[in-house]
């Protein structure tokens, strides 16, 4: 029995991101590429639709406080929902808010170029939940709930 291509593994938020995540900016539609010809012809921009679920794709940029490599600390998360998901947590700094995700999946991928390739993941979620709720993330020392990402995470 083989694993099919592009299989998404379900994972608990606290397991993937022991220190939680910090969302930077806002959630926006994940639009398809529009060529110059499309723009010149006045064709409307189309939002991507997830092949597996049939739901619209939304993206947000997140930062993982647990990642030690600066180049891998920030990445995009794809959210799958019929309408634009709205985070429930308040901003802690302008444009920054701690978040927790529900319905989180991870799909392995190869990232990097040439001889500098490494294992990374594409993360997808179905929405947000209040940061610090039961079933949320825990620090590695077994402490209280928080929000963040683990190492080698990329979208």
Residue appearing with tokens 């808010």 = 97
Tell me the pTM: 0.78
Closest by Cα among 102, 85, 95 to 28: 85
C-alpha 27: how far from its chain's center? 11
pLDDT along the chain (155 residues), means of 10: 85 95 96 88 91 95 93 94 94 94 95 91 93 49 34 40
């Amino acid at each position: 029995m083989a694993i099919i291509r592009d299989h998404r593994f379900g994972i608990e938020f606290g397991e993937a991101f022991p220190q939680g995540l910090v969302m930077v900016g806002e959630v926006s539609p994940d639009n398809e590429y529009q060529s110059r010809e499309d723009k010149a012809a006045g064709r409307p921009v189309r939002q991507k639709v997830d092949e597996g679920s049939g739901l619209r794709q939304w993206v947000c940029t997140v930062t993982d406080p647990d990642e030690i490599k600066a180049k891998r600390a920030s990445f995009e998360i794809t959210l799958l929902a019929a309408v634009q998901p709205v985070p429930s947590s308040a901003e802690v700094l302008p444009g920054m808010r701690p978040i927790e995700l529900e319905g989180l999946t991870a799909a392995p991928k190869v990232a990097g170029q040439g001889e500098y390739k490494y294992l990374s993941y594409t993360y997808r979620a179905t929405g947000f939940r209040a940061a610090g709720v039961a079933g949320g993330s825990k620090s590695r020392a077994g402490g209280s709930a928080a929000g963040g990402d683990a190492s080698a995470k990329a979208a």
